[in-house]
Structure formats: C-alpha cells, structure tokens
C-alpha cells in the first residue's frame, strides 16, 4: 500500500498525517504539535513519517511568506517572517535531505483552496478565489484548474481599499495601516476597532456592515481581475452566520450590475471542508504529483 | 506562401492586415476603415481577406465586452455595448461562415498585451500585466505564459479604489462613478476633473500626482494578486513623459516595502511596440494556433 503524506505547517501548530494513495479523503493517522523553530519542528515531522516506508509523495501547505518560484536559489525556503527560528529556513531542503520523494510545496491558503477545488464548494469549477479571513487575510487562487502564481504566491489580503465612510479606524496592517484589506478587515482589526471580541458584537451592529463592505469590495476587485466561477470564504471571521448575506448585498451595490456573475448565493459562499481542509488539500496536492488521472495543480 | 491575418477591431476604426507566416513582424498589406455596424464592417473585413487564398489563421483583437468562454452558447459574440449595431453580433461566427480556418478570438487589450509579451517590453517574462489607459482602462494579463481569463476576460479597469485625499472629483464611470480606477483615472476623467485637456496641464500640476496615485494604487493591487514580472503601460495617457516616474514613486510609498518586486524602473514601464501593437499581437496569436514552436496563448 502506497501512502500520501500531508504537512499542514501553521505558525502556531503543525499537523502531519498520512492517507492511502487510493483514498485521500480518509486520514489513516494524524499528529499535531506546537510550532517550534524550524529545525526542531521538522525533526518531529520526520519522526512521524519515519514510521512509514512507502510514502509516494507529500503535500506541504506552509505559513508564509515562502519561496515558491522553482527557478529561485531559495526555492523551498521560508522567507522573512516574524516567527522565530524560521526566516531563511530551508524547509523543503530539510525534507528532501531526509527522504528524496516528490513534494508539493505551497502556501497554507493554497492548500485549503485546493481542497475546496477538488472536493469542496468549488468542486465543479475551473476558477476559484478562496479567501481566508482570520488573524490575517490570504487567498488561494485557482485559474483554469491551476494554482495561480507569478514571481511568487499571491498576497491578496493586501490589496488597496476604499474606506467605508463611517469607518474612522486607523488600521491594523503594519505595512499599509488602513489602506489594505487585511488592515481593515482581518479579525484583529475588528476587535481593535470596536474594543471587544467579534463574538460580543451583535448581528445588527454597524461593525458587520463595515466588515461586509470591505469583503464585498475585495470580491468586486477579484472579480474584475480574475473573473472566477466562485469566491469561497474560509477562516474564523466568516463563520459568523450573518456576514455572508451582508457581503452579497454589498457586492451587488458595489458591482452595480457592471459584470455578469452567477447568482450571488452561489457565487459568494462558505467553505465546505471543515477543519480538515488543510490536510485534505495536502493529500490532493501530493496525489496530483503521482497520479495523472488527478487534476494537476501546476503546469 | 502561407499567410497570417490580423483584425484589430476598435470601436472607431478597424485595421486588417496580412503577414507571412514565417515573419509575423512584417506587415505585407494593411487597410483600415471606420467602424460601422457589425454586418457592414465585417463585409469590408472579408473583402480585404478575399484577396488571399492561403490564410493559415487569423487573430482577432476586438473591442469589448465580448464572449470568450469556449463553452458558452454565445462564444464569439459581441456582448451588450453602447456601440450601435454590435450588441449580440456573432463576430466570430460571421468570419467562420466566410472561411472556416483557425481564429484566435480575444480582446483588444489582450492582443496588444500579447504583442508586448512576445516582442515588446515583456519579451523575457512569464507573467505580465499590460494596462492601457486612454478613453477607458483595460488590462491584458498573462500568467505563466498564457492569457488569463476566468468565466470571461478581465475588466481590470474597474477595480475598486481609495480616493486621493485631495481629489473631490465625482468620477466618470457610468457604473461605479468615483469608486473604480476607470472612473478616476481614464483620459476623460482627467479632462472633466480639471476642465481642460491633459495636454494643457503642466508637468508640476497636482493633476499628475493624483493620476499617478491611482495608477500606482492599481499596480499595488495587481501586484498583490498576480505577482507579475512586469507591469507595462500603454494607451494615450501614459505617453505623458512625467507620468511613469511619478507612478513608480507613488507605488513605492503605497507598497511600503511589503512585497519584493524588481527595480521599479524595470517593473513599471512603457510599451515598446508602437502603433502596430494591436496588429502584431493578432499575428502572434494567429501564429500560436498554427505553429507549435511559438508560445501558446491558451491551454
């Protein structure tokens, strides 16, 4: 029996898992542990996979920024990050030195987005924007069935934004303050702006209208540039039940009938995969490396 | 000798031309005529190409919006447009009925962008944003060597924008007023905002600082989503010599060192192909259909 491996490499926690190559939807074994520095954490990753001789490929979905440009000298490295013990760490190289099998190396949002594309809310689509709104905001973009990247992976949480007329918040982005989506609409921005946790803010509060305005504005911009089949929202913030209906309403107002899009309750939707999305995405990405019948994630 | 055909279908003027299949950079014959309604104009197009028996393929770069989704029932049609006699016209079908050869059917900005990608400012790149700023604003986007599209072609002139703090202009977009790039930064917006033609506005006027702010803001957003190798500006407005240096300066301020990009005088540049860009792009696109050694514009 040949196995697929998954490494969901988060900034606070790592999850590692294996599945049968013929059944990537079923986790055979999983472990998780807190994220330490690069070398210590990867030693635990390797110890987990040491239990298995026959791993066909491993998918890695890593917190960023990471170098995903195949021609780059630092391909496979973690780039500058405030996370201690990770800046400049050769994550992929450490795994290859341990065992020289195929690895699919990508971002955490690309992993979760790919899971939605293969088996979730976008499983019948060719083009997807997957947006996660939590501590930060990031996007995995799939265009014509491939993960989109240019000289590096998207950082689509940092698109420039028009402020809501009633919003006087100074913004939370250390680079762009109140000028980018993440600075205005990520979880910490909501909590700092209103001085309480999102859970304490009632459904009919202006807070949600403002949040929806920003997410809708971003959705209009993604739509104009990428023309996706669907925009799928993941992460903690969109769990709030009242939010996506407000996003759809604001999207209609801001788009003002300029571009034809699918019905909004099909176009702007929640993720379907639950907490397993990251691991599932890794399995699917690993499978795409070994199985030509599976959708190929890259050219 | 086998020929390539080009149809540059503009809203005010059509240009048709042929080139030798082995030398798409050299126009053998060209004609242009004012754009009338669909049927009348296409009759002139066909009369031009009737002179040549051996046309291997024709590239069509058309004013939009057009239907470019291969699976759509109206693939090859011009969609709703204020241009009289064109809404719902089956442009591609009329050409195929005339002569059933391969056609590359795309937007005018994709044609000009593809020319920059093959032989212009982006000839060594894999990923390009080509932005034309004139009567309107449109983008041709090339990602990993292919023209980007989702359920339709990009309309990246209509991304949402933060207003410049000193700009009180009401905006020029009939859909988005002062909320989108085209509404704030296309040629007619400049002239209406300042009550005079762009030519009459001196280099050191606030007008250019505001224009540069919007173009730079858009460039930051495109960069965050697409991570291109280069952003190439075409169209009438960027002809103004003082403009791109101001765009680079504002880009640096707005990006605030968040993402690594190439040196800005290489990253934000002018088109290199002159008035022939549209025709050249059509030849290259036609060639991509018949010649596997040429870069392929689509999957």
Which domains, from first to last, does chain A contain?
3-111+275-298 (3.30.420.40), 121-271 (3.30.420.40)
Task: Enter the tokens of residue A299.
Answer: 């050219």
Does A124 reach chain B within 8 Å, measured CB to CB?
no
Q: Which residues of A touch B153 (CB under 8 A)?
A: 227
Cβ contacts below 8 Å, chain A against chain B, sum to: 131
Chain B contacts of A163, Cβ < 8 Å?
A: 162
Structure tokens at A54: 């026959």
Whether chain B has a CB inside 8 Å of the CB on A30: the answer is no
Give the number of other CB atoms < 10 A from CB of residue A200.
10
Contact between residue A49 and residue A62 where contact means Cβ atoms under 8 Å apart = no
Is residue B222 less than 8 Å (CB to CB) from chain A? yes
The SS3 assignment for A276 reads coil
The per-residue pLDDT for A4 is 98
Chain A closest CA to B65's CA: distance in Å?
A: 10
Contact list in B for residue A160 (CB cut-off 8 A) is 161-162, 217-218, 220-221, 254
**A165 touching B, CB under 8 A?**
no
Which three-class secondary structure state does DSSP give residue A293? coil
For residue B77, what are its two tokens?
A: 């049609």
Element (H, E) at B185: helix B181-185
Q: Has residue B167 got a pLDDT over 60? A: yes
Q: CB contact, 8 Å: B179 with chain A?
A: yes
Cβ of A238 under 8 Å from any chain B Cβ? no
The Cα of B159 is separated from the nearest Cα of chain A by a number of Å equal to: 5
Distances (CA, A) of B93 to A77, A92, A127, A169, B97: 50, 51, 26, 54, 6
Query: How confident is the prediction along chain A (299 residues), in pLDDT tens digits per residue?
Result: 799 999 999 999 999 999 999 999 999 999 999 999 999 999 999 999 999 999 999 999 999 899 999 999 999 999 998 889 999 999 999 999 999 999 999 999 999 999 999 999 999 999 999 999 999 999 999 999 999 999 999 999 999 999 999 999 999 999 999 999 999 999 999 999 999 999 999 999 999 999 999 999 999 999 999 999 999 999 999 999 999 999 999 999 999 999 999 999 999 999 999 888 899 999 999 999 997 655 566 65
Position B285 scores a pLDDT of: 97
Q: Measure the CA angle with vertex A177, ends A173 and A182; round to 5°.
A: 40
pLDDT in tens, B256-292: 999 999 999 999 999 999 888 899 999 999 999 997 6
Residues of B whose CB is below 8 A from A161:
160, 162
B-chain CB neighbours of A158 within 8 Å are 220, 224, 258-259
The predicted pLDDT at position A275 comes to 80
pLDDT digits (tens, 9 = 90+) for B180-210: 999 999 999 999 999 999 999 999 999 999 9
For residue range B11-25, what is the model confidence (pLDDT) as tens digits? 999 999 999 999 999
pLDDT in tens, A134-151: 999 999 999 999 999 999
Residue from the list B159, B163, B259 with its beta carbon closest to the beta carbon of A224:
B159
What pLDDT shows up at residue B294? 53
Kindly report, residue by residue over B46-78, the tens digit of the pLDDT.
999 999 999 999 999 999 899 999 999 999 999
Residues 260-279 of B with CB under 8 A from A: 260
Percent of chain B topping pLDDT 70? 97
Contact of A32 with chain B, judged by CB distance below 8 Å, is answered with: no
Task: Report the relative pairing of strands A146-147 and A103-107 from DSSP bridges.
Answer: unpaired
Q: Minimal Cα distance from A152: which residue of B?
A: B227
Confirm or reject contact between A1 and chain B (CB < 8 A). Answer: no
A173-190: per-residue pLDDT in tens? 999 999 999 999 999 999
Q: Which of B148, B157, B229 is opposite residue A151, by nearest beta carbon?
A: B229
Q: What local confidence, expressed as pLDDT, does residue A295 receive?
A: 56
Assess whether pLDDT exceeds 80 at residue B41: yes
Distance from CA of A133 to the nearest CA of B (A): 16
């Amino acid at each position: 029996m040949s196995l697929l491996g998954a490494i969901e490499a988060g900034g606070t926690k790592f999850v590692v898992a294996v599945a049968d190559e013929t059944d990537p939807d079923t986790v055979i074994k999983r472990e998780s542990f807190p994220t330490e520095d690069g070398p210590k954490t990867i030693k635990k990753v390797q110890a987990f996979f040491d239990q298995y001789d026959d791993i066909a490929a491993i998918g890695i979905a890593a917190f960023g920024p990471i170098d995903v440009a195949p021609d780059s000298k630092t391909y496979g490295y973690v780039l500058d990050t405030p996370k201690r013990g990770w800046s400049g760490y050769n994550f992929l190289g450490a795994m290859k030195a341990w065992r020289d099998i195929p690895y699919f190396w990508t971002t955490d949002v690309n992993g979760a987005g790919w899971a939605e594309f293969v088996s979730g809310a976008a499983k019948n689509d060719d083009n997807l924007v997957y947006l996660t709104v939590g501590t930060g905001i990031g996007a995995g973009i799939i265009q014509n069935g491939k993960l989109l990247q240019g000289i590096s992976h998207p950082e689509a949480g940092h698109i420039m934004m028009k402020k809501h007329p009633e919003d006087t918040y100074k913004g939370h982005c250390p680079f762009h303050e109140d000028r980018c989506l993440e600075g205005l609409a990520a979880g910490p921005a909501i909590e700092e702006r209103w001085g309480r946790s999102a859970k304490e803010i009632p459904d009919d509060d202006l807070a949600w209208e403002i949040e929806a305005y920003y997410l809708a504005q971003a959705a209009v911009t993604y739509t104009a540039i990428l023309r996706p089949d669907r925009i799928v929202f993941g992460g903690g913030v969109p769990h709030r039940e009242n939010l996506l209906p407000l996003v759809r309403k604001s999207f209609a107002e801001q788009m003002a009938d300029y571009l034809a899009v699918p019905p909004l309750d099909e176009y702007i939707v929640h993720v379907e995969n639950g907490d397993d999305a990251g691991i599932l995405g890794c399995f699917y990405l690993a499978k795409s490396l070994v199985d030509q019948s599976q959708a190929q994630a890259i050219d």
